[in-house]
């Protein structure tokens, strides 16, 4: 049996080990940050190249509270239009989804050229019906798209 004394670990040894570990973590974070920055730049270039879908003009004036609801639930880049019915107390409320957020299929966009989501809302439902429809349109989009919409609404940078 050999009598070997275990090496005594000093505070200095612990601090040196910790410094090496932190340096490794810092290097990995810098690599991740560089990859994310490159990806964000790529996405920005792709978005710049896409032609923006023209918003459908409303046949009637849009009440300010309806615009505010859409801006709050979605964001300002979503278009809206209203068309009242002559024979019933209701209107068609359409939300135009910009191409950057649209999840409409290629064939749909080839035919209709725009991702427009119409809904008939009664005057009795009013702003509540508009809010419910805006929330349904929002919830129909993918989680990644919803995150981008919220980040764009808040004016924050998006990392994907």
- Give per-residue pLDDT as tens, 63-83: 899 999 999 999 899 999 999
The span from the CA of 115 to the CA of 97, in Å, is 5
Residue 141 and residue 92 share a domain: yes
- Determine the structural domain holding residue 150 and report its residue range: 64-154
Determine the pLDDT at residue 82.
93
Number of domains present in the structure of the chain: 2
Which pair of tokens denotes residue 128? 């509540």
Residue 55 lies in a domain: no
Reference 75, options 137, 160, 27, 157; nearest CA is 137
58 pLDDT band, cuts 50/70/90, is low
Q: What is the mean pLDDT of residues 148-152?
A: 89
The span from the CA of 104 to the CA of 84, in Å, is 26
Residue 79 and residue 14 share a domain: no
Residue 123 lies in a domain: yes
Residue 134 and residue 79 share a domain: yes
Determine the pLDDT at residue 90.
92
Residue 132 and residue 89 share a domain: yes
59 pLDDT band, cuts 50/70/90, is low
Angle, helix 64-73 to helix 126-140, in steps of 10 degrees: 30
């Amino acid at each position: 049996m050999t009598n070997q004394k275990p090496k005594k670990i000093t505070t200095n040894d612990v601090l040196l080990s910790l410094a090496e570990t932190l340096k490794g973590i810092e290097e990995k974070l810098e690599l991740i940050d560089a990859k994310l920055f490159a990806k964000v730049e790529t996405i920005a270039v792709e978005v710049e190249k896409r032609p923006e879908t023209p918003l459908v003009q409303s046949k009637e004036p849009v009440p300010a509270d309806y615009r505010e609801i859409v801006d709050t639930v979605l964001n300002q880049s979503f278009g809206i239009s209203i068309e009242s019915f002559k024979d019933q107390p209701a209107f068609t409320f359409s939300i135009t989804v910009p191409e950057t957020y649209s999840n409409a299929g290629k064939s749909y966009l080839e035919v209709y050229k725009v991702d427009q989501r119409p809904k008939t809302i009664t005057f009795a439902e009013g702003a509540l019906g508009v809010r419910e429809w805006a929330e349904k349109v929002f919830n129909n989009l993918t989680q990644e798209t919803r995150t981008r919409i919220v980040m764009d609404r808040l004016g924050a940078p998006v990392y994907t």
